Amino acid sequence: MNKTLWQYYADKASEITDSALSNIKTLKQWEKEIKQRKKEFFISMGLDRLPEKCDLSIKIIGQLQKNGFIAKKISYQILPDCYSSGVLFLPDPLPSKKVPAVLYCCGHSGLGAHWYQKHAIMWAKRGYACFIFETIKQSENPGFHHGLYTGKRLDWISLGYTAAGGELLNSIRGLDVLCEMPEIDNSRIGATGISGGGAHSHFLAIADERIKAVATSCGISLLKFAIKYRTMFQHCDCMYANGNFQRDICEFSALIAPRAILYCFASEDNLFFKEEYHTLYQKVKKIYKLYGCEEKCELFEYPGPHAYSDASVKKINEWFDKYVAQEKHPDIGLEGETIAEPEISVFNGKTPEPNRLHILPELLSIKKSYPLPEDKNQWSGIRKQIIENLKKNVFHWLERSDEKMEIKKIGQWIHENNIFSRYMAESAGMQSYIEVFFKKTPAKITIIALGDYQYDTQTLLTKTGFITDKFNLVLFEPRACGRNAADIEQGNYCLYRAGIMTGITPVLMWMNDLKYVVKFFKNTDEFAKTKFVLFGTGETVGACLYYSIFDESISAVILDNAADTHAEGCYIPGILKEIDITEASGLMAPRIFAVCGVKMDRWISQMHWGVRVYDRLGIKEKYIMVQNTNTAIEKVLSEIFR
């Protein structure tokens, strides 16, 4: 068996979906987990440090009075100097008491509020207030949704950002605006939308208990179907949380309980499978049964394509009358009346300046900083704390992973004084390959060299140098590399996207592989008494660096052709909120760190945190930066034997 990387992700997605909520047996057990799962949800949405509510700077740009309703055009801030807009629809005439409200989350069609306004008009004529607001990329809003979908913003992986999180913040702020309106009864608010709006209203209900009921239409995708059945290729990035904790969305959807949720799906919608939304419904309903209120979780399936139907609109209206307004309202459906685009436009093409909404991923991905040590004693405490943070907040999958590796020798040849061995390894159905060179009397140093997608053992041997008396050489083609390489470097960005959706990027996989490879050779008689050095090139440098940081038995690490930032390679979920690669290099201290290759200019030109650590500790000679790979190896060997 030898799975491709894609098949690995498809199988992992199936495991996550199929096992979701299966361990929950009692309400007591579920309630014990709610706080942690809610925390995991916000982290998975890239909002682990949810920004404090800023001054909304609500401005009424204009007001329109039409037949049976009033429309107020509103601008507001979701963050300082990040503007959004929407339209508040109110009944006309207004009743004497405060009215129930609907927050309408726009999907991706047209100019948000203009395109979906029939729904807002309907709600106003039914006696509700309805605030319909633009997504972060509609109308004049300069946000971006398709970072991973297009491969244009692979840095989102390391930033821990997802467009779903950007939209969740936008939805929370939209709800804040609605709650500021004097006409609204804040104890009676529901959320709804279709497609992307179906996803956003659903995410909002999970995040914010001010939403008393939600009706989501054609908007929730389970991981198994997104990857295994490939619907992710038709879905925007804003439909998916990141997979940091290997949880499917149904596990977060259950956090809405015991508040009311209505799932609406069209039976001929080619973006969703019947099996998919029935699985979603059954898994979440299990939690409602534990609460004794299964009637508050309902699936409404109707014939038709990816759209509303008269029946689904009627069902949503009845749902909100029951669980939001708690009283019957007039039976009015969608009508033909609309407001012309020039009239309904809030910004008329020009937003307030400055408007920083286009850098929302950076604004939401705040990185920690760490003090430099003043002496060796202080360094121990600083290093320990950073490593604890990394293990807890970034690399926790490695602690939970049950992916074991089986390594088997498949041959050994002896010629004169040289010994050459071959090994096959398998983990999670994916094969790896290992070649080993050493003398009959092994050297005192063993270099384990990893090559990424473009390197097989032969090209890796050429890069690291042929067998010598100076070191034993283990050439390792990890999963999805070498002759089993994934086409990930040639525009096949879906593999990176599948990696963040399941929370297991290749760097994490290779770190898991290294755990078994290092242990195997440490327990091999020929190498048991040697010092171990890890050598990585290209994308595998991330695996070698962080594995070496965590495993203090590794004497040195050599990074060849290493990106100087996780924004440009070695993608690890959310790593940039904790540390960047140049800073992480300092965590090798007081052991030896070396970096070499054609990408050296930016490493050498920066007096970055990693270099400064070695300088502060008086061991700057152990921080090696050279252009040539062989020179780097020679310098590392010299330092080890110094």
538: left (phi over 0), alpha (psi -120 to 50) or beta: left
Q: What is the pLDDT of residues 359-397, one digit of tens each?
A: 999 999 988 999 999 988 899 999 999 999 999 999 999
Does the structural domain 376-640 have CATH classification 3.40.50.2300?
no
pLDDT confidence of residue 528: 87
Q: Encoding tokens for residue 279?
A: 């699985």
492 pLDDT exceeds 90?
A: no
pLDDT confidence of residue 530: 94
Q: Encoding tokens for residue 43?
A: 């982290």
Q: What is the pLDDT of residues 164-198, one digit of tens each?
A: 999 999 999 999 999 999 999 999 999 999 999 99
Q: What is the DSSP string of 318-359?
A: HHHIIIII-S--------S----HHHH-SSTT---SS--GGG
What DSSP element (H or E) covers 495?
helix 494-502
pLDDT confidence of residue 487: 77
602 pLDDT exceeds 90?
A: no
598 pLDDT exceeds 90?
A: no
Q: Which of 305, 348, 297 is nearest to 323 (CA)?
A: 297
Confidence of residue 490 (pLDDT cuts 50, 70, 90): low
User: What integer is the mean pLDDT of 619-638?
Assistant: 94
50 pLDDT exceeds 90?
A: no
Confidence of residue 468 (pLDDT cuts 50, 70, 90): confident
pLDDT confidence of residue 486: 84
Helix spans in 4-116 (H): 5-19, 27-44, 112-115
43 pLDDT exceeds 80?
A: yes
CA triple 581-147-113, angle to 5 deg:
140
Q: Which of 181, 88, 197 is nearest to 137 (CA)?
A: 197
Question: Considering Cα of 301, then 304, then 307, then 309, what sign does the dihedral take?
Answer: negative
Could you give the CA distance from residue 557 to residue 536 in angstroms, rounded to a whole number? Answer: 8
Going by C-beta distance under 8 Å and a sequence separation of 6 or more, which residues neighbour residue 31?
Answer: none
Q: Which residues pair with 554 in a beta bridge?
A: 532
pLDDT confidence of residue 293: 98
pLDDT, the chain, mean: 94
- For CATH 3.40.50.1820, the residue range(s) in the chain are 7-364, 376-640
pLDDT confidence of residue 38: 97
Could you give the CA distance from residue 249 to residue 205 in angstroms, rounded to a whole number? Answer: 13
**What type of residue is 469?**
D
pLDDT confidence of residue 336: 87
For residue 45, with 0-12 CB atoms within 10 Å meaning exposed, 13-18 middle and 19 or more buried, which class applies? buried
* Distances from the Cα of 260 to the Cα of 288, 301, 314, 489, angstroms: 9, 17, 17, 45
pLDDT confidence of residue 295: 98
Report the topology of domain 7-364.
Rossmann fold (3.40.50)
Report the predicted TM-score, pTM, of the whole model to 2 decimal places: 0.95
Helix axes 541-550, 376-393, angle to 10 degrees: 120
Q: What is the pLDDT of residues 248-280, one digit of tens each?
A: 999 999 999 999 999 999 999 999 999 999 999
Q: What is the pLDDT of residues 208-230, one digit of tens each?
A: 999 999 999 999 999 999 999 99
**What type of residue is 582?**
T
Q: What is the pLDDT of residues 132-148, one digit of tens each?
A: 999 999 888 888 999 99
pLDDT confidence of residue 108: 86
Question: Considering Cα of 183, then 188, then 193, then 198, what sign does the dihedral take?
Answer: positive
Q: What is the pLDDT of residues 551-576, one digit of tens each?
A: 999 999 999 999 999 999 999 999 99
